[in-house]
Amino acid sequence: MRWRKTELFKKKTSTLKSKPRKIRNPLNHAMNQTPRQTQIQTPHPAENQPANPATNLPALMQLQGVCKSFRSADGVPRLILDGVNFCLAQGEIVALLGKSGSGKSTLLRIMAGLIPADAGETIYRGKNIYQPAAGIAMVFQSFALFPWLTVQQNVELGLEAQGMPANEREQRADAMLELMGLAGFGGALPRELSGGMRQRVGIARALVTNPDVLLMDEAFSALDVLTGETLRDDILNLWDSDRIQTKGILIVSHNIEEAVMMADRIIILSSDPGRIRSEIKVDLPRPRSADTLEVRTLIDEVYGLMTMRPAQEALTGTGLVLHLGYRLPDTDVSHIEGVLDLLAGAPFNGSADLPQLAEESALPDDALFHAYEALGLLGLAHIDKGDIRLTALGQRYAEAEQAQRQELFGQQLLMHVPLAARIRQQLEKVPNGTLSEEPFIELLEEFLKTDEAKRVLEVAIEWGRYGEVYEYDFHTGRLTLPEQNGE
| Distance separating alpha carbons of residues 6 and 331, to the nearest angstrom | 12
Residue 8 pLDDT > 70, yes or no? no
| DSSP β-bridge partners for residue 251 | 95, 216
* More reliable by pLDDT, 10 or 239: 239
Residue 212 pLDDT > 70, yes or no? yes
The secondary structure element, H or E, covering residue 70 is strand 57-71
At residue 215 the predicted structure's pLDDT band, cuts being 50, 70 and 90, is: very high
| Distance separating alpha carbons of residues 191 and 154, to the nearest angstrom | 13
474-479: long-range pairs with CB below 8 Å, 24+: 477/436, 477/437, 477/438, 478/434, 478/435, 478/436, 478/437, 479/423, 479/427, 479/434, 479/435, 479/436, 479/437, 479/440
Relative to beta strand 351-353, strand 265-269 is: unpaired
DSSP 8-state code for residue 77: E
Give me the amino acid identity at 419.
L
| Distance separating alpha carbons of residues 396 and 376, to the nearest angstrom | 15
| Distance separating alpha carbons of residues 236 and 106, to the nearest angstrom | 25
Backbone angles phi, psi at 251, to 5 degrees: -115, 125
pLDDT, one tens digit per residue, over 216-236 is: 988 887 777 788 888 888 889
Residue 324 pLDDT > 90, yes or no? no
* More reliable by pLDDT, 58 or 21: 58
Q: Which of 375, 345, 367, 348 is nearest to 225 (CA)?
A: 367
Buried b (16+ CB within 10 A) or exposed e, 466-486: bbebbbbeeeeeebbbbeeee
What pLDDT does 365 receive?
A: 83
Per-residue CA distances from 142 to 139, 219, 220 (Å):
9, 8, 10
Residue 471 pLDDT > 70, yes or no? yes
* More reliable by pLDDT, 29 or 296: 296
| Distance separating alpha carbons of residues 49 and 60, to the nearest angstrom | 8
Cα radius of gyration rounded to whole Å, the chain: 24
* More reliable by pLDDT, 44 or 381: 381
Query: Class of 48-135+210-306 per CATH?
Result: alpha beta
Q: What are the boundaries of each domain within the chain?
A: 48-135+210-306, 333-399
Average pLDDT of the segment spanning 462-477: 95
pLDDT, one tens digit per residue, over 249-287 is: 999 988 898 999 999 999 999 888 899 999 999 999 988
Residue 189 pLDDT > 90, yes or no? yes
pLDDT, one tens digit per residue, over 379-398 is: 999 988 788 999 999 999 99
Question: Is the separation of the CB atoms in 378 and 408 below 8 Å?
Answer: no
What pLDDT does 332 receive?
A: 92
Average pLDDT of the segment spanning 39-54: 43
Question: Is the separation of the CB atoms in 67 and 81 below 8 Å?
Answer: yes
Which distant-in-sequence residues (6+ apart) come within 8 Å of 2 by Cβ?
332, 458, 462
At residue 35 the predicted structure's pLDDT band, cuts being 50, 70 and 90, is: very low
CATH number, domain 333-399, options 1.10.10.10, 1.10.10.60, 3.60.15.10, 3.40.50.150: 1.10.10.10
Q: Which of 322, 137, 150 is nearest to 219 (CA)?
A: 137
At residue 45 the predicted structure's pLDDT band, cuts being 50, 70 and 90, is: very low
Per-residue CA distances from 340 to 20, 216, 352, 391 (Å):
43, 33, 11, 11
**pTM for the whole thing?**
0.73
Give, to the nearest 10 degrees, the angle between helix 450-466 and helix 402-416: 140
Which distant-in-sequence residues (6+ apart) come within 8 Å of 340 by Cβ?
375, 380, 381, 390, 394, 397, 398
Average pLDDT of the segment spanning 427-448: 91
What pLDDT does 52 receive?
A: 60
